[in-house]
């Protein structure tokens, strides 16, 4: 018996898990030689401010004071003395349209806030440069600027009688065409509204030239598409501009096959620097099936864009829980009292559940509170079927959100993506105010509510729907809710947040939403060196000057991909 007990004791001792046994002594690693050392800076880290960091093979190998990085210096190390300049993590834009923004450089541009006469003058000048029959196209007219006489095809007929004309409005969800464009598209009084769209008509039933949502596609489909070279130039122009603002990663919120080809081509040439996630249009099953043909190290086509509604402007196309303020200009408003939900809930639930199971992230366009509710219901359905997949499906825009939906987002692993540049008084706000009334504007873009509820919240500019992709404007106005530089009305003042929260949204939170927070989003040892050097410490200057911040250098993977021109 004693022998059995001794044997059992020996067995227990020898079968003790390895974690309880002393392991081999870890050899201290030799300091990794740095490719670049940044020193004498004001570097913003999760642990506080430091002065120096070292980068090797794109990764941060040391963060701290000058002594912490000195051991990584080698004869070939580049040492960059910042002379007290501030370093932040690279910024993200979680909703941007680079292809469209770049193509606007080839189109007839209407400055935001243009008066009707300015629009007519610009249109006439653009038409004069073209041959008869060539298309005049551009954006962004503002319906509110026309007062009591809304846009009509006859207005464009007078200034461009020999050319078809189509302009999209400031939101991108309505278009305005002249008679020549309507004829080419075959739109007459007998043309029915397409699914998910509206052809506005006058009291006699004749098309006015204003086309909502999918109806605009009846005309835009007739416009000759840009060439592959134009697409490349457009994407390159836009991505370079974003680098100059310190944007190191972004979601393209509407990728077509031509866009996917442009990104993959730029990547193959070594000209795509940012980390780009492409959100393919949900009706483009062919591209979704072929998506990995275009995947590259810096381009990940792993997101699907689903459009749930329109916008809460004069067209009343955003899906709202409560009725819009009646409009005298909508002669066929039946069924639009609460806007338009463009995808039936059952279909939406099935779609999101399927994409979730495929490992794809879903990005919704949802401006109205009823559309936000539908998107969250679809995410909940996917979670009930699949469990948490790791994809943070995000509801985009969120102009209006019910508090019950704010509270449940975290529990279903949903993210809110809020649109900057329209959370302060700007040209589009006049249209929205008329459509929804002042009471609902009190919780316009409820960022603070979402953060208080613990929901993952990120920013998405929606450029070029908005006039600038500059993230420093958004960071300032998240805090002030006033026009850049301060002053005037604070729009949705109850939803102001702190500067620290605003910076977190553009960095750590966005990296989390992209499932990249293990490698980017903060400045820490072991993460990739996606950094931005700026001309001021935004935490020490007056908040109303943050929009004027200038980027001096942008780094991605330790590579300096943007350097401000001398004297900037």
Single residue among 169, 197, 220 that ends a domain in this structure = 220
Single residue among 163, 193, 220 that ends a domain in this structure = 220
Please tell me the predicted confidence (pLDDT) of residue 562.
Answer: 98
Q: Report the CATH number at residue 127.
A: 3.10.310.70
Q: Report the CATH number at residue 324.
A: 3.20.20.140
Looking at the domain assignment, is residue 241 inside a domain? yes
Q: What is the pLDDT of residues 394-453, one digit of tens each?
A: 999 999 999 999 999 999 999 999 986 666 777 778 888 989 999 999 899 999 999 999
In a shared domain, residues 273 and 180:
no
Please tell me the predicted confidence (pLDDT) of residue 384.
Answer: 98
Looking at the domain assignment, is residue 564 inside a domain? no
Looking at the domain assignment, is residue 6 inside a domain? no
Q: Which residues of the chain have pLDDT under 50?
A: 1-20
In a shared domain, residues 310 and 353:
yes
Tokens 């979601």 identify what position?
251
- CB of 477 closer than 8 Å to CB of 422: no
φ/ψ of 92, rounded to 5, equals -120, 150
- CB of 320 closer than 8 Å to CB of 378: no
In a shared domain, residues 204 and 238:
no
In a shared domain, residues 211 and 274:
no
Looking at the domain assignment, is residue 353 inside a domain? yes
- Crossing angle between the packed helical segments 257-268 and 228-244, to the nearest 10 degrees: 70
| CB contact set of 346 (below 8 Å; sequence gap of 6+) | none
- CB of 389 closer than 8 Å to CB of 433: no
Residue 199 half-sphere exposure toward CB, CA atoms < 13 A: 22
Please tell me the predicted confidence (pLDDT) of residue 25.
Answer: 54
- 502: three-class secondary structure by DSSP: helix
User: CA-based diameter of the chain, in Å?
Assistant: 110
In a shared domain, residues 172 and 247:
no
Tell me how many degrees the CA angle 258-562-140 measures, rounded to the nearest 5: 50
Single residue among 198, 220, 242 that ends a domain in this structure = 220
Write out the two tokens for 119: 């629009």
Instruction: Report d(CA 483, CA 545) in Å as an integer.
Output: 11
In a shared domain, residues 212 and 240:
no
Please tell me the predicted confidence (pLDDT) of residue 16.
Answer: 41
In a shared domain, residues 469 and 509:
yes
In a shared domain, residues 211 and 281:
no
Q: Burial, 14: exposed, middle or buried (Cβ in 10 Å; 0-12, 13-18, 19+)?
A: exposed
- 475: three-class secondary structure by DSSP: helix
Instruction: Report d(CA 245, CA 562) in Å as an integer.
Output: 9
Instruction: Report d(CA 320, CA 311) in Å as an integer.
Output: 10
Residue 15 half-sphere exposure toward CB, CA atoms < 13 A: 6
CA separation (Å) from 102 to 6, 242, 395?
Answer: 80, 11, 25
Domain limits at 200?
Answer: 115-220
Comparing C-alpha atoms, which of 301, 297, 287 is closest to residue 359?
Answer: 301
Q: Cβ of 532: how many Cβ atoms within 10 Å?
A: 25
Instruction: Report d(CA 40, CA 396) in Å as an integer.
Output: 39
In a shared domain, residues 158 and 286:
no
Looking at the domain assignment, is residue 50 inside a domain? no
Q: What are residue 303's DSSP bridge partners?
A: 279, 361
Residue 221 half-sphere exposure toward CB, CA atoms < 13 A: 8
Looking at the domain assignment, is residue 402 inside a domain? yes
* Alpha carbon distance, N-terminus to C-terminus of the chain: 87
In a shared domain, residues 238 and 212:
no
Q: Burial, 186: exposed, middle or buried (Cβ in 10 Å; 0-12, 13-18, 19+)?
A: exposed
- CB of 506 closer than 8 Å to CB of 92: yes
Please tell me the predicted confidence (pLDDT) of residue 327.
Answer: 80
Tokens 């692993």 identify what position?
413
In a shared domain, residues 404 and 419:
yes
**Which sign, positive or negative, has the C-alpha torsion 48, 52, 56, 61?**
negative
- Residue environment code for 323-347, b if the CB has 16+ CB neighbours within 10 A, otherwise e: ebeeeebbeeeeebebbbbbbeeee
Q: Rg of the chain over CA atoms, in angstroms?
A: 27
Q: How many domains does the chain have?
A: 2
Ranges assigned E (strand) in 298-360: 299-307
Comparing C-alpha atoms, which of 212, 137, 150 is closest to residue 180?
Answer: 137
Please tell me the predicted confidence (pLDDT) of residue 14.
Answer: 38
Instruction: Report d(CA 362, CA 356) in Å as an integer.
Output: 8
Please tell me the predicted confidence (pLDDT) of residue 397.
Answer: 95
Residue 135, sorted as left (phi over 0), alpha (psi -120 to 50) or beta, turns out to be beta
Please tell me the predicted confidence (pLDDT) of residue 343.
Answer: 97
Looking at the domain assignment, is residue 393 inside a domain? yes
In a shared domain, residues 377 and 498:
yes
């Amino acid at each position: 018996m004693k022998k059995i007990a001794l044997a059992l004791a020996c067995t227990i001792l020898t079968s003790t898990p390895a974690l309880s046994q002393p392991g081999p002594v870890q050899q201290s690693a030799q300091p990794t030689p740095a490719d670049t050392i940044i020193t004498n800076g004001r570097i913003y880290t999760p642990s506080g401010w430091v002065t120096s960091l070292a980068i090797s093979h794109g990764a941060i190998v040391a963060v701290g004071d000058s002594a912490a990085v000195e051991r990584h210096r080698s004869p070939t190390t580049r040492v960059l003395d910042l002379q007290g300049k501030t370093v932040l993590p690279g910024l993200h834009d979680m909703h941007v349209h680079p292809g469209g923004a770049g193509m606007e450089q080839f189109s007839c541009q209407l400055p935001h806030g243009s008066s009707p006469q300015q629009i007519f003058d610009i249109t006439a000048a653009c038409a004069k440069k073209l041959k008869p029959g060539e298309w005049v196209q551009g954006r962004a007219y503002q319906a509110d600027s026309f007062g009591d006489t809304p846009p009509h095809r006859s207005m464009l007929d007078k200034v461009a009688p020999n050319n078809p004309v189509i302009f999209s409005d400031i939101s991108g969800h309505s278009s305005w065409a002249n008679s020549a464009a309507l004829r080419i598209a075959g739109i007459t009084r007998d043309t029915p509204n397409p699914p998910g769209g509206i052809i506005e008509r006058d009291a006699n039933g004749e098309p006015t030239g204003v086309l909502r949502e999918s109806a605009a596609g009846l005309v835009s489909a007739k416009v000759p598409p840009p060439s592959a070279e134009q697409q490349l130039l457009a994407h390159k122009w836009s991505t370079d501009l974003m680098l100059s603002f310190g944007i190191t990663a972004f979601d393209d919120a509407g990728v077509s096959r031509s866009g996917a080809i442009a990104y993959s081509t730029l990547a193959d040439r070594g000209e795509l620097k940012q980390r780009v996630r492409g959100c393919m249009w949900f009706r483009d099953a062919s591209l979704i099936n072929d998506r990995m043909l275009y995947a590259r190290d810096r381009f990940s086509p792993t997101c699907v864009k689903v459009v749930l509604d329109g916008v809460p402007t004069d067209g009343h196309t955003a899906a709202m829980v409560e009725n819009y303020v009646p409009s005298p200009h909508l002669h066929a408003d039946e069924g639009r009292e609460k806007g338009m939900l463009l995808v039936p809930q059952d279909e939406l639930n099935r779609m999101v559940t399927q994409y979730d199971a495929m490992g794809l992230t879903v990005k919704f366009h949802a401006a109205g509170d009823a559309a936000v509710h539908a998107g969250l219901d679809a995410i909940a359905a996917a979670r009930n079927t699949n469990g948490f997949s790791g994809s943070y499906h995000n509801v985009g825009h969120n102009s209006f959100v019910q508090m019950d939906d704010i509270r449940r987002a975290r529990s279903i692993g949903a993210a809110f993506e809020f649109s900057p540049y329209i959370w302060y008084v700007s040209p589009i706000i006049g249209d929205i105010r008329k459509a929804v009334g002042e009471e609902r504007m009190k919780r316009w873009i409820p960022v603070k509510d979402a953060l208080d509820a613990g929901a993952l919240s990120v920013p998405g500019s929606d450029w070029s729907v908005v006039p600038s992709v500059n993230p420093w404007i958004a960071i300032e106005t998240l805090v002030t809710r006033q026009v850049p530089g301060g002053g005037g009305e604070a729009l949705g003042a109850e939803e102001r947040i702190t500067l620290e929260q605003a910076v977190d949204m553009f960095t750590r939170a966005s990296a989390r939403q992209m499932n990249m927070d293990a490698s980017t989003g903060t400045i820490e040892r072991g993460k990739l060196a996606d950094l931005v050097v700026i001309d001021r410490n935004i935490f020490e200057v007056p908040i109303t000057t943050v929009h004027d911040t200038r980027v001096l250098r942008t780094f991605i993977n330790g590579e300096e991909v943007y350097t401000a021109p001398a004297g900037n």
